[in-house]
Amino acid sequence: MLAGGVGGAKFLRGLRDHLRQVAPDGDGGTTAEVTVVVNTGDDVWLTGLRVCPDLDSIMYTLGGANDEVRGWGRVGESERVSAELTEYGVGWPWFTLGDLDLGTHITRSHLLREGLTLSEVTSRLTARWNLGVRLLPMSDHDVETHVVVADLDSPTGERSMHFEEWWVHYRAGLPALRFEQHGLSSSVAAPGVVEAIMGADVVLFAPSNPVVSIDTIVAVPGIRDALRATAAPVVGVSPIISGSAVRGMAHACLSAIGVETAADAVALHYGARDAGGLLDGWLIDESDAALTSSLGRAGLRVAAVPLWMNSVETSAALAAAALAEAAGLSV
């Protein structure tokens, strides 16, 4: 699976639940092997620490330690250290790092400075939690998404900021002129990523932000080619329901790249593999069922199913539908 943070985590929790039911290992787990290729374009060095928001969202959610009410971070979190950092005037006061969360970032930064790669560090961090899936960063290289916005005070008329500043501080409210992925062209896919895609029975695109989660992963040299070449069916789940980004501000990302916030527009943006794109199958919400025939003509096999993930059960049903779609494509 290719995944960003929160949308990826919710879908994965359902997939894991579904696989435990249909392919149980007799020990509460599953015999199915799931590898998740996670977006690291949102990663940032902050107060000397490497923060990987999407990897951590998935780790905490599958580890059962996420804050269900707030929707991100650790449950039972406190923010004493962040308050001290603000007093010293370092860091981003609007980007609160919780005390428990900081334990993860300190550990990660320590291991990176010891010389471990991000995938090695991720393997060390996730070993503590019983995730039941393997998390791989898309790349071991630092790749950072920056957003270019208009700035009349600047000589160039533009200003660039880290994605998290645009997203969290400005709530995606400054119109984005474009996204730039620093470090992308010289990056390579992390060890195991291409192998996982090429060796998979099924490749899934989580209902994640198409622009700053999925597109960023796909743009890492080697990954698009693997997706184009794999013998496995590639099935995506729409992050857009009835023209809305469900939760969050993904529409601000889509409009910046000229893609309508609509389930069919996102699918056509990825494209059908038959037509040089990335997808064989696409899941849309029942409310979007009218889009099925036009997407079919574009070469996509479409299923219209409930896409709201309000519980583990609804997420598991969605995962089952995605695997059924893939099975239909395999025959």
- Return residues touching ligand GDP (CB under 6 A): 3-8, 10, 54, 57, 206-209, 213, 237-239, 241, 245-248, 250, 307-309
* Residue closer to ligand GDP, measured from CB, 187 or 213: 213
* Residue closer to Ca ion, measured from CB, 44 or 193: 44
40 binds, among ligand GDP, Ca ion, none (CB under 5 to 8 A by kind): none
Alpha-carbon distance 266 to 34, whole Å?
A: 25
235 binds, among ligand GDP, Ca ion, none (CB under 5 to 8 A by kind): none
The token pair at 318 is: 């969605």
* Residue closer to ligand GDP, measured from CB, 156 or 310: 310
Per the listing, tokens 């597109």 go with: 215
CB of 71 to ligand GDP, least distance (A): 9
CB of 261 to ligand GDP, least distance (A): 9
Angle at 282 between CA 288 and CA 3, to 5 degrees: 110
* Residue closer to ligand GDP, measured from CB, 71 or 84: 71
CB of 65 to ligand GDP, least distance (A): 16
* Residue closer to ligand GDP, measured from CB, 198 or 241: 241
Instruction: Tell me which residue of 277, 271, 208, 285 sits closest to 243, measured CA to CA.
Output: 285
Helix locations, 5-116, DSSP H: 6-22, 53-62, 80-88, 99-113
59 binds, among ligand GDP, Ca ion, none (CB under 5 to 8 A by kind): none
Which residues would be at the binding site for Ca ion (CB under 5 A)?
4-5, 42, 54
6 binds, among ligand GDP, Ca ion, none (CB under 5 to 8 A by kind): ligand GDP
Question: Which SS3 state, helix, strand or coil, does residue 323 take?
Answer: helix
Per the listing, tokens 């980004």 go with: 245
Q: With beta carbons less than 8 A apart as the criterion, state whether 279 and 267 touch.
A: yes
CB of 42 to ligand GDP, least distance (A): 6
Q: At what angle do helices 53-62 and 99-113 cross, to 10 degrees?
A: 120
* Residue closer to ligand GDP, measured from CB, 206 or 267: 206
CB of 26 to ligand GDP, least distance (A): 31
The string of DSSP codes covering 244-303 is B-SSS-HHHHHHHTT--SSHHHHHHHH-BGGGTSSBSEEEEEGGGGGGHHHHHHTT-EEE
Alpha-carbon distance 188 to 193, whole Å?
A: 10
279 binds, among Ca ion, ligand GDP, none (CB under 5 to 8 A by kind): none
CB of 28 to ligand GDP, least distance (A): 26
187 binds, among Ca ion, ligand GDP, none (CB under 5 to 8 A by kind): none
